[in-house]
Structure formats: structure tokens, C-alpha cells
Structure 1
């Protein structure tokens, strides 16, 4: 296992707040998934002490470690980062997202995602962009997901059944269905993805 002793004792107040929010979200999601810290450590190949520090807001993960944690918890680095950067207080009743800037963008699957709503909303709409030509690993999570092709041609693999989709095509798959996408013609593609928000548990050890 690899440990990351990125202690945040000397960090700024905003960094400490973000670390605390990220840790609380990871802890809540782990609880909601029914995993112990030991099980999460095994799944991510990260050390138990490091994960314990992370959940208590005392350590910050690298992007690589965050990706491992996200996959093990059936979510994405984008959603974990969003939860850390957006406290639940003062969520507006309405939101307007313009095309240029302002939204959180981060790794999602094997491409990048742009979250189009506050992370505490019951659904996470996002624009996903990628150009991978190989299928890569499957992703699976407990929440339902909908995808709509904005640009390009995409191969969508749902539990081993591959379908080629073009602009305007859409798909819906229930939670637990293993899925992955790749370019059908070698060109970049973009999807609008709407995913149920991962659960958050307030349970404690």
C-alpha cells in the first residue's frame, strides 16, 4: 500500500475547510457504501492511517489517490472535489451556468467533466469530454445515470453489450450496471451526463 502523509497543519483556513469537507464527504460516502476503512484501504491500495487522516481533514490526497478513492466509492474525482469546494449552506433556489468558465472542471472517468449544478442537488448534470480510443476499465456505481451524445460518435459498453451512438442519441442505465465509453471513430466526443447524487451518511465510526 502507498501512504501519502500530506498533513495540512500549516495550510490556510480555506484549505483546512476544503480538506475537512472532502474528508467528511469521503467518510459519509464510505459509510453509505457499507465499507470499513480497512476495506477502502484494500480497494484503493492506500494505507489505513492515511485514509483515516484524510477523513478527519488532516491530509489531502494527490489526484492519483483521489481517483483511486473515487473508483472504490463508485463516484468520480469531479464529484469529490465539488463536495469539498461547495458547502451545503446558502444553496440558491436557481442556477444559471454560462458556457465560458465559472464551473468546476476536473477528471471524470478517462476524460474531463464540467459540473453544471451545485453538488448537493439530487442530480449531477455534467458535460463529459474525452478522446480515448480504447475501452479502458468499467465503471459501476449504485446510482442511475443518463447520457446524451453532444458531439462525436461513441461506443457505449453496458455490462458487455456494446452500442454505437451518434449525436442526439441517448441512453439510461440503472445503478449497478458496469459501463464504459470510447470514441467510435478516433475523434473526440462529448456527452451530457446526468447522474444521481451519491448518498451521504452522517454515521460515525
Structure 2
């Protein structure tokens, strides 16, 4: 179990919590570590490290794990507060989760992930030289609000959209998108994801090519 001495926003607490959830869901699904690794396209030792809390998976890996386990990404992430009714995340709190496993990738900060509320919220501050080009898509609604900077959102089958400060875009069921930072300024955005109503076991917003 997660170390009770760790604060709920520490990297160690979150890594241990993710590992415990992955192990419990894997065993419930009757999957071996090797089988789960194969379904996610990662190595068996890496899955073992995740389950032990010794490795923090990237956001794309969290989505792949959740899809293979028949869960939502938020089911793998711990609540960021011990209070089930009120969650406060200060500006210096919340784990930074990498978008991909590449060393030059951008990171998202977990603002909300609650297993009892089908909503996940992430904050991103992306630099022009960071890799953010993973494809994502899932049942439910994803929404992006740009706080500052210029973001290009390529939506599979729909075209390319350029978003500036205070622009907003929402994506429906199984619509895949990927991002690109435009210009020389960083992009600050907030991403939220909610699965379809009445579908608590809906597949997650999975990282994959469309």
C-alpha cells in the first residue's frame, strides 16, 4: 500500500498508488505482468517497476495501461486530497506526468483525478522544443482551454485548428488529436476528460495512432 507518511501530492505517493491500482486491476482481469506489458507495448520489467511504485509511467502509458485493464485513466490515479468532498491543489503541488516516454517530452500536472467522480483535469505548460505529438482519443468528451501561447491541434479526419489565448476546443467520442506548439512562446493550457454518462467502465482516452 502507499506509504502513509507520504503526502498525497508527493511523487512517491502517486507512483506507489498507481502501482497498487495497476496490480489490483491486472489481477482482477486475470492478466499476467507479461500479458499486460504486451497489450501496452512496453517491457515486462517496466510494468513490474510500475507495480512496485519504482517507476512513474508517462501519461500515454497510463492511458495504454487503463485501456488494457478496461478502466479509465483516472482509475489508476489517486485522489490528490484525503478529503473526499474538497480537493485543493496548490501551485507547487501535483505530480508532473510526462506525455510520452521520450526524454524531450512535455509534462502535464495532475489537478484532479478522482475515482468517484468521472473527471480528470490536467494543466500543461509546454515549451516550443518539447515533444507533444502523441495521438490521443477515447469515448467521452475531452476539452482544451488555452490560457496563453499558440497551440496547433490536429484532429484526425477533421483538420488542423490553431488555438490562441482563451480559445477552447472540445472533442467527442473516439476523436483522436495531437498537439504542436507554434511560435517561440510557451503554451499554457488546461485539459479535462470525462467518459460518457452511465459508462463507469468505459475504455480510456487511449494513446494510439488514428
TM-score range, shorter chain: 0.5 to 0.7
Query: Structure 1 residue 140 and structure 2 residue 137: aligned?
Result: yes
Distance of aligned partners of 1:73 and 1:186 in 2 relative to their CA distance in 1, 3 Å threshold: farther
Query: Structure 1 residue 128 and structure 2 residue 124: aligned?
Result: yes
Q: Distance in 2 between matches of 1:97 and 1:135?
A: 24
Name the counterpart of 1:164.
162
Is the contact made by 1:152 and 1:188 (CA closer than 8 Å) also made in structure 2? yes
Uncovered stretches (5+) of structure 1, i.e. residues with no partner: 1-7
How many residues were matched structurally?
178
1:1-205 matches, cutoff 5 A: 14=5, 21-27=17-23, 36-37=31-32, 38-42=34-38, 43-47=40-44, 51=47, 55=51, 59-63=52-56, 66-67=57-58, 69-73=61-65, 82-83=77-78, 86=80, 90-98=82-90, 100-101=91-92, 103-109=93-99, 110-117=105-112, 119-120=114-115, 121-132=117-128, 136-159=133-156, 161-196=159-194
Q: How far has the Cα of 1:62 moved from its partner?
A: 2.5
Calculate the TM-score normalised by the size of structure 2.
0.63
Q: How far has the Cα of 1:181 moved from its partner?
A: 1.1
| SS of corresponding position for 2:185 | coil
Q: How far has the Cα of 1:199 moved from its partner?
A: 5.4
| SS of corresponding position for 2:136 | coil
Name the counterpart of 1:3.
none
Max radius of gyration: which structure? 1
Q: How far has the Cα of 1:82 moved from its partner?
A: 4.2
